[in-house]
Structure 1
Amino acid sequence: MRFVLTGLLVLVVITAMGITAYRTLKPAETVSRADKPVPSAEPIKAIQYSELAEAPLIVEGRLRVYAEQWRVFADTPVTAQRMMTPHWSYRRWPAEVVSIVEVEKPASGVGMSVVVTKWSDGDIVALDAEKGDIVWQAKIDPAPGESYKGRRTGSKTMWSPEDLFVSTSVVDKQPIVIATGKDVVEAIDPANGTVKWTKSFVAEPGCRTTDWTGPDTYYTKNTCTKPATLEIYDAATGLPVGTWRPPGASIGTDAVSNWFIEPSSCDLGHSGCLMFKAAPTGEGVVTYTDAVSGLGTITATYYSLAPDRTVKPEPVADKDTVIAVGDVVAQQVTGGYIWAYSRTTGQRLWMSEVNGRLIGGDPRNFYLVNNEYQLLVLNRETGAVTSSTELRIRPADRFVFSMYYLHAGYLVIERLQTTKESEIDDKYYFSQDTVVLVGIG
């Protein structure tokens, strides 16, 4: 009898555990909203602030937003030394976080900043950046294989989203979020979730896998035409702006007719890109560094959209890294000097011999990480170094990086032991708290 009772007890326990697991892991949407106000943005200093386990987006200089496989959450303040108890949290299961963008409220202060999230089941959810409340929800047919690709830190999901972009209206300068799915693209008003336009490509399935936004346009390459065709649409209306192919593009094998193209000088990921580079073939294209070393001869040419919305070459842009801010373009052959030119006149403005890696720019400065692991600030007009910030937490630190984020006076870098993505996390990331956040002076 005792064995029977014991068996029944075990059965009851197992059944209870099963019910508990189901209640915990069943498909769910959970919102833990903020219960306290967000502190004001702090004055930014040119110092190290934080070592973090995950890669944040920074909103209004007051919040850090993170992504995990099934959860998006925020902490505050931005300058906290470590990750803090979540200010708010939003969780869905079994859907996974695919992409995130943030759209900050205008300078007038009217409205709210939103964090727009896209999930593997096609749900698009906008969250109030300050409170964590759901502002609106939309749905798009997801492309096959959409999943969380952020690994341990979420950096790729946060800093290089593949199917969620931001642009603006050429007329009223209001922000527009553009989402892509399975042979479809939608433009959404981030303030209220209104779908402004939809473009369906179901008649040519699987043909558009390379896309990005410019300041007020959406670009996508149609690989089913021979040769491929770049299609350009107005971001606010979805109306066609034009089509384009690089000079010399021709019919041939897929490797030839699917010519090379890549966005360049982008605000974040593939959003707000001022330029793109293209070559008339899809094979044999090398970097400028490799061409100089004799490893090939076909290099890409840089292009941009002229005020009349025709594609024009950027004649002074001819290096591996090109960053344009307004009329000034700074460029660098990998590891070499930095040259700055006027995009309008072609006049050389300055040259810097500082060694390192050019990583970004804004209306005041260009930014470089030098060989001594320092962030250098170069004046946009003169090239003079105006400040530096140490990126090493400890003097013995040695790391490499491929993902980084510049925004609102902060630089965030994901430190790695190697850029070989096939390595396991323990050999890939520099440390457990592998993300470093510094202020820019």
Structure 2
Amino acid sequence: MGFPRGRRRLVMVVAALLATATVAVIVHRVLAPAEVSTLARGDYPAPARPPAGVIGRLPVAPLIVDARLRVYAAHRQVYADRPVDGRYRTSPYWSYRRWPAELTGIVASGSTVVSRWSDGQLVALDARTGGVLWRADGPKPAPSSAVARRTWAATVWEPRGLRLADLPDGRTVLVVSGDVQARAVELSDGRELWRVDLPGNCRSDVGTTASGQLIGLDRCAGPATIEFRDAATGAVRERWRPPGGSDELVVTPLGCRTGGSDCLALRTAGPGDAGGRGWLLGPGAPVAAPALDATGAVLVGEQAVVVLDGVAVGRSARTGAELWRSADLGAARLLAGQPGRVHLLTEANDLVTLDPVTGRQLSRFALNVGSDGTGWAPGAVTAEDGFVAVERLRKPVDPTGDDRRYYYTGEAVILAAT
């Protein structure tokens, strides 16, 4: 005997509905917006002060946070490892994932790490635990045609439209720019301070100043103009053009923290210029600083360092007076600067670190690890908390090549203490 025909049909309908519901639940769980936070297990590490030398190699670019952790980016993930001076990348100390949004930038100040996502969300994490401190809405990132390379260096070292500004009263502000809007929030709690609508496609933000202003380049009406906006209030304090400057400008911030934050100066140039003009930044209009005119000049505090005819020269950025010169480095190139240190790379890929005030050599060693050798070209660089990290690229450098052709090895980033 079997089921009567009517009952059999009812059973089939119920079975089909159950199957559909099961599939719907699975699809929802897989595709629905979600976040996964894996908190730290173990104590927050102490600050590391390793001796000068190569630490190790990494497959992705690290953001040094609080001199204790290395924070990394992935397609939909922010994660950290420890110790900061570990030879290789280790299992995550903590991790934060979102779906389906994509990670577009990271910045950090003290023990706070802020991530920006493709849907405009800002998520602040406590570096000590990986826990979420706050969430806030921000403008969606402007579209970018740049290729996301496998080291994620641009995401962690040069995040577009995501910058910090330290205010004179001790507060830190996070300024977030999109295509048609900019917003600022308190770093401590995510509270919105201001938002302004911006004309699209003709204005860009290039950094923040050490005196608490957002630097914008406005090409919307007439000649390109540099705009200084108060990071605390959103009010435009100054609109400025270099005297006798081109109707179009290329603006390069100088003396900044990682990511173009808290910059001390900038260089302006017209399209196709071989050099430019340097300017010190402060509360008022920029002040001419010819010591920063040369392309490639590095500013560390009040000192400008440049390589001229193979000689490294340190000058007062304010007066131009020569402070020192170092002629024994060969055809070295300036790599980066950070408080109390300026870093150069020799033809043999020795990393040389000098005191920017006196020119005294603080350390010198080959940027080589294991049997990798030194036959590579430097790519993106960061310098912070006494560390230097450098992408190693295959010679000759092919910007259009895929990652296997572009990078020197699978673990393309070399990390050193100076």
TM-score normalized with structure 2 length: 0.88
Determine the structure 2 residue equivalent to 1:138: 136
Are 1:68 and 1:150, in contact at CA under 8 Å, matched by a contact in 2? Answer: no
Give the drift of 1:146: 5.5
Structure-2 change in CA distance of 1:408 and 1:212 (3 Å): same
**What letter matches 2:253 in structure 1?**
P
Give the drift of 1:16: 7.7
State the superposition RMSD in angstroms.
2.4
Partner Cα distance (1:103, 1:359) in 2: 23
SS in 2 for 1:166: strand
Structure-2 change in CA distance of 1:217 and 1:390 (3 Å): same
Are 1:98 and 1:149, in contact at CA under 8 Å, matched by a contact in 2? Answer: no
Determine the structure 1 residue equivalent to 2:273: 285
Determine the structure 2 residue equivalent to 1:316: 291
Are 2:336 and 2:382, in contact at CA under 8 Å, matched by a contact in 1? Answer: no
Give the drift of 1:337: 1.7
**What letter matches 2:301 in structure 1?**
G
1:175 matches 2:149 = no
SS in 1 for 2:150: coil
Deviations 1:409-435 (A, max 9, x none): 111111111543211011011111111
2:281 pairs with one of 305, 311, 319: 305
**What letter matches 2:409 in structure 1?**
S
**What letter matches 1:193 in structure 2?**
G
Are 2:209 and 2:264, in contact at CA under 8 Å, matched by a contact in 1? Answer: yes
Are 2:66 and 2:109, in contact at CA under 8 Å, matched by a contact in 1? Answer: no
Partner Cα distance (1:285, 1:14) in 2: 65
Partner Cα distance (1:336, 1:15) in 2: 72
Partner Cα distance (1:168, 1:60) in 2: 16
1:276 pairs with one of 266, 281, 285: 266
How many residue pairs are counted as aligned between the two chains?
396
Determine the structure 2 residue equivalent to 1:290: none
Moved over 4 A (4+): 12-22, 146-149
Determine the structure 2 residue equivalent to 1:371: 347
Moved more, 119-128 or 36-45: 36-45
SS in 2 for 1:246: coil
**What letter matches 1:124 in structure 2?**
L
Are 1:98 and 1:147, in contact at CA under 8 Å, matched by a contact in 2? Answer: no
Determine the structure 1 residue equivalent to 2:108: 102
SS in 1 for 2:78: strand
Are 1:54 and 1:155, in contact at CA under 8 Å, matched by a contact in 2? Answer: yes
Gaps of 5+ in 1: 1-11, 105-112, 250-255, 287-298
Are 1:208 and 1:221, in contact at CA under 8 Å, matched by a contact in 2? Answer: yes
SS in 1 for 2:155: helix
2:203 pairs with one of 187, 200, 208: 208
1:246 matches 2:242 = yes
Are 1:357 and 1:368, in contact at CA under 8 Å, matched by a contact in 2? Answer: yes
SS in 2 for 1:248: coil
Are 1:55 and 1:153, in contact at CA under 8 Å, matched by a contact in 2? Answer: yes
Partner Cα distance (2:200, 2:416) in 1: 44
1:165 matches 2:163 = yes
1:397 pairs with one of 374, 377, 399: 374
Determine the structure 2 residue equivalent to 1:223: 219
Give the drift of 1:25: 4.2
Are 2:289 and 2:320, in contact at CA under 8 Å, matched by a contact in 1? Answer: no
1:401-412 matches, cutoff 5 A:
401-412=378-389
SS in 1 for 2:154: helix
Determine the structure 1 residue equivalent to 2:124: 126
Deviations 1:164-213 (A, max 9, x none): 0111112x132221111232111221111111222222xx3322124211
Partner Cα distance (1:200, 1:103) in 2: 27
Q: What percent identity do the matched residue pairs reach?
A: 31
Partner Cα distance (1:232, 1:380) in 2: 28
Partner Cα distance (2:311, 2:200) in 1: 44
Structure-2 change in CA distance of 1:346 and 1:437 (3 Å): same
Partner Cα distance (1:186, 1:217) in 2: 13
Partner Cα distance (1:421, 1:158) in 2: 19
**What letter matches 1:213 in structure 2?**
T
1:29 matches 2:26 = no
Give the drift of 1:150: 3.8
Q: Which has the larger radius of gyration?
A: 2
2:333 pairs with one of 354, 357, 364: 357
1:74 pairs with one of 63, 80, 85: 80
SS in 2 for 1:316: helix
Deviations 1:341-363 (A, max 9, x none): 11233211111121312123334
Structure-2 change in CA distance of 1:145 and 1:343 (3 Å): closer
1:337 pairs with one of 298, 307, 311: 311
**Which structure has the highest strand share of the two?**
2
Give the drift of 1:41: 2.3
Moved more, 65-74 or 190-199: 190-199
Are 2:39 and 2:131, in contact at CA under 8 Å, matched by a contact in 1? Answer: yes
Are 1:98 and 1:148, in contact at CA under 8 Å, matched by a contact in 2? Answer: no
